[in-house]
Structure 1
Amino acid sequence: MPAPRSTRRPAASATAETFGRQRVAKSQGGIGGTSAAAGPRPDWRFEYQAWAHGLFPVAGVDEAGRGPLAGPVVAAAVILPEGFAHPQLHDSKQVKPAVRAELAHVLRTTPGVEIGLGVATVEEIDAINILRATFLAMRRAVQALGPSPAALLIDGNQLPGGGLPQIALVEGDARSLSIAAASIIAKEWRDAHMCDAHALHPHYDFPRHKGYATAAHRDAIRRHGPCPLHRRSFLGGLLEETGWLFPDGDGSAPA
């Protein structure tokens, strides 16, 4: 489907309420209902759906870092200008690191692309759990946008407290261009943050695995114990196995 040409806000054809609070499975037909077997690429279909309901602009929202043993969870919200196109824009997991870095640069420097970033810290992850921390980072990303979006396209689950009409898309980063752009920004920022952490915590080789639970990372924790970047709520079994304590002297997971 070609990118939209007009910069005029589309006229409303239905209410915002009929658009918002949907969750679309990847196998569902209709708008955005391409099956995974067809090898879909992200496109404008869900953005068009929002515009047809008079909702403009639309922000795509995605996160990076839900699963690692260390580091924050990071979310990005991205508004793409009508007509934006890049042949390699895709889910961040589907592109090579060099291409991802190029895409992030293009997104940051293209006029009309609006980016909001939100971070939930390790302390927040341990205090409220990773799912709530992810939602917190997403809300912060949306709040950080310059222009306020009229609607959200979200990868995965509905965003509680989002305050806007939204559609949650299963594997949305492979289906919506706005979500794909958000996935690129979130992944690049978080990876850079974890690489920078190497200077303070060289024992763990964070540039290699970005905090994920690789065998090498787990072995490093066994040898050196956890550092302040580690999520104690993710390390219960490993700490019990090794007897290591966190730098504050506490070896327990949060209640």
Structure 2
Amino acid sequence: MKLMRVGPEGSERPVLLVGGRHFDLTSVTADIDSAFLGGDGMNRVRAAMAAGGLPEVDVRGARVGAPIARPGTVACIGLNYSRHAAESGTAPPAEPVVFLKASNTVVGPYDDIVIPRGAVKTDWEVELAVVIGRRARYLASPTEAGDVIAGYAVSNDLSERDYQMGDAGGQWVRGKSCESFNPLGPWLVTADELDDPQRLTLRSFVNDQPRQHSTTQDMIFDVRHLIWYLSQYLVLEPGDVVNTGTPEGVALSGQFPYLRVGDVVRVGIEGLGEQRQVCRAAD
């Protein structure tokens, strides 16, 4: 299944996308949120669809929001692709590098990127996002991680590198939590539709010029390992998002200029859709 949320910011409604057709989910749930994901919502949607109880809806021209309502936690993994670690001048980490970013950074896949005031090194990062569907606490092994994953989505884990690594003393959160710094979507693709999250192609473009082109096979720590690892140190709840790292090809590498007002960013992942954002200055 592909789940999405459409409508003005703060007033999105849940929608199911099947075969290019959109179906209204408001008879099943008020939103795609922690209560839905943790309360057998997926099976209720399947049952309603099988019974023919979902009306078709026209979403043309409507804003597309993030496919889940504001998550409680956005957990992120840094330096999780071998070639990205190399372009950053860093040895591959011996264990996952974990940081959090503010949950209100999560915006729709086509919403503007807001360049922060005083920013000079705003960077893009296409990432595979994992959406949690069941509470994960002290999982016994990576094998158990598959049972707590609701699905996957495209994420753009934007960074202001000067805030992140300038005089911040290694405080990554400061360079990661600016407004609009986590476009998510366009869909939440349920885990049963994805054969193998470790064999997905990721790409990014700035002004239609290619930047990143890699696969999740280059991950240092795979998806299940990351979810298991995180569960040892924090409790993951339904609706939480885990950004699993970005491949090589970001501006930090020195190969490309950082983002500026007017730039157009596109990021996409095989089977999960594509985002498009325009960069604008903070008001």
Q: TM-score, normalised by structure 1?
A: 0.27
Determine which structure has the larger strand proportion and give its number: 2
Determine which structure has the larger helix proportion and give its number: 1
Q: TM-score, normalised by structure 2?
A: 0.25
